[in-house]
Amino acid sequence: MREGLQVVLGNRLLRSIAGCTGTSNLFSSAVQAVLVLYATRDLGLPPELLGLAFGAGSVGALVAPLWVLLSPVRGLREQLSRETAQFNEG
């Protein structure tokens, strides 16, 4: 674990990505917690319906990578791979 932290903290790009991801995770978790309270208390949504909505979003998160992998759009996977590689280099 120490070696991994040294690699991340020693690389400017990885350090920036880790900081951005950590900040995003922190605030999105806070928003999710407040959203649940707002939806159930103020909007009066039953917890079952709110759980169903979150579950539908999770299914979408699983389907999106499969869509890219099996996309009928020719070369989409290769294009995304090239763009990711260019981002990592530069």
For 8-52, the DSSP string reads: HHH-HHHHHHHHHHHHHHHHHHHHHHHHHHIIIIIS---HHHHHH
Task: State the total domains in the chain.
Answer: 2
- How confident is the model over 43-61, as pLDDT tens digits? 999 999 999 988 988 888 8
Are residues 30 and 55 located together in one domain of the fold?
no
Are residues 34 and 63 located together in one domain of the fold?
no
**Would you state the pLDDT for residue 64?**
81
Residue with tokens 């763009």: 83
Among 28, 45, 62, which residue terminates a domain?
45
pTM: 0.56
Q: Measured between alpha carbons, how far is 59 from 15 in angstroms, rounded to an integer? A: 31
Are residues 9 and 35 located together in one domain of the fold?
yes
Are residues 31 and 8 located together in one domain of the fold?
yes
Parent domain of 50: 46-90
**Which run of H or E residues covers position 69?**
helix 47-69
Are residues 37 and 70 located together in one domain of the fold?
no
Backbone Cα Rg of the chain: 19
